[in-house]
Amino acid sequence: MNEVARPAGPSHAEVDASTALTRIAFVASEAPDALQAQGRLAARYGTVPAEDADVVVALGGDGFMLQTLHRFRDSGTPIYGMNRGSVGFLMNSFREEDLPARIAASQRVVIHPLMMEATDIKGRQHRAWAINEVSLIRQSYQAAKLRIAIDGKVRMEELICDGVLVATPAGSTAYNLSAQGPILPIGTPLLAVTPISAFRPRRWRGALVPDRARVDIAVMEFEKRPVNATADHFEVRDVVAVRARLDANSSMTMLVDRDHSIEERILAEQFG
């Protein structure tokens, strides 16, 4: 993650518009377009270290936006993303003009992440947070064999598959959608439990569970059928059990343009 530290202070044309948010930090991915944009914006509007900012402007793609949201989890600092990557579903469109006014007029979206608690084959405990999804994926040519319980009650005694994921509304248009899972509007009090290439039961397409539910996934025959677990970018290999639940005590804040809201992006994804 790249940051430019220069004296704070807007350029001549942006003095009045930027008074609502006096301290802006620009962070960028390693992509050349993102780094170049970071330099131009810092020169135009001034910048401060990210830890001292009122708002952080993230320049890159969705992956970089996820990294930035994780970095500032529970800090209270809002993140305004601008697309300098490829897909950019979580990002606002890139435009250099009137940035302080865009930020001031933007809509705040508060995201509560999933917390993954995973136990590996050696009994070690691992904890990580996910904005998009917690996923379990087979590690070898052998299909995974999983058991799924919701709030302590077994709902799927045996699922033979390539894997399974638990997705938040924010992540429902990512890996979940590629696995034929449902799209969940932001604010929907649900989680999607979606199989990845289910073999048995072949017709099972997943389930929607309340976002207050605790999802426990046990790996059966784990020595013969090794499985890894991932919470966004954090991966644990050779897991035997994984618990995923929404962490209502943790949050990140995104800023999105009102004329291109998350709700509008989800509708466009479904009808596009």
* Numbered residues of the known binding site for NAD(+): 62-63, 132-133, 162, 170, 173-178
- Contact criterion met (CB below 8 Å) for 15 and 53: no
Choose the catalytic residue: 33, 62, 98, 238. 62
Instruction: Kindly write down the DSSP assignment for every residue of 51-80, as one continuous string.
Output: GG-SEEEEEE-HHHHHHHHHHTTTT---EE
* Identity of residue 127: R
Which 3 state secondary structure label does DSSP give 166?
Answer: strand
The helix or strand, by DSSP H or E, that contains position 239, with its residue range, turns out to be: strand 239-246
- Contact criterion met (CB below 8 Å) for 164 and 194: yes
Give residues with Cβ within 8 angstroms of 17, minimum separation 6. 10, 98, 100, 101, 104
Q: Is 98 a catalytic residue?
A: no
Other residues' Cβ atoms within 10 Å of the Cβ of residue 200: 12
Cα(272)–Cα(266) distance, integer angstroms: 10
Cα(186)–Cα(207) distance, integer angstroms: 18
Cα(260)–Cα(87) distance, integer angstroms: 15
Cα(67)–Cα(40) distance, integer angstroms: 22
The helix or strand, by DSSP H or E, that contains position 171, with its residue range, turns out to be: none
Cα(68)–Cα(252) distance, integer angstroms: 10
Active site residues: 62
